[in-house]
Amino acid sequence: LAEIRGTQSVQDENPEDKYESLSKYGRDLTQVAKQGKLDPIIGRDVEIRRAIQVLSRRTKNNPVLIGDPGVGKTAI
């Protein structure tokens, strides 16, 4: 991390606005969905609800999707 950061340090109250890390490294899935670019997920309601439930927890909120290749982990 020190090698990447170099001599830069955070001095601003809102450093996220300056470096725009989320827009640089992430995708706004809400915007992608509004554009109709997400494939529909059919028949995975139980798995999706369970993942949402785990993500909504205060602690231990890291769901892990395990399965053979091609079973739909990425789609969920």
What is the count of structural domains for the chain?
Answer: 1
Confidence (pTM): 0.55
Dihedral sign for Cα atoms in the order 12, 13, 15, 18: negative
Provide the domain limits for residue 24: 14-65
Give dist(CA 72, CA 70) in Å, integer: 6
Measure the N-to-C terminal CA separation of the chain; round to a whole number of Å. 31
Q: How confident is the model at residue 18 (pLDDT cuts 50, 70, 90)?
A: low
Task: Give the pLDDT confidence score for residue 70 in this predicted structure.
Answer: 92
Q: What is the pLDDT of residues 25-37, one digit of tens each?
A: 888 889 999 999 9
Query: Both tokens of residue 61?
Result: 């909120």
Q: Is 17 helix (H, G, I), strand (E, B) or coil?
A: helix
Instruction: Indicate whether 4 belongs to any domain.
Output: no
Instruction: Indicate whether 7 belongs to any domain.
Output: no
| Torsion, CA 35, CA 31, CA 43, CA 47, rounded to 10 | 170
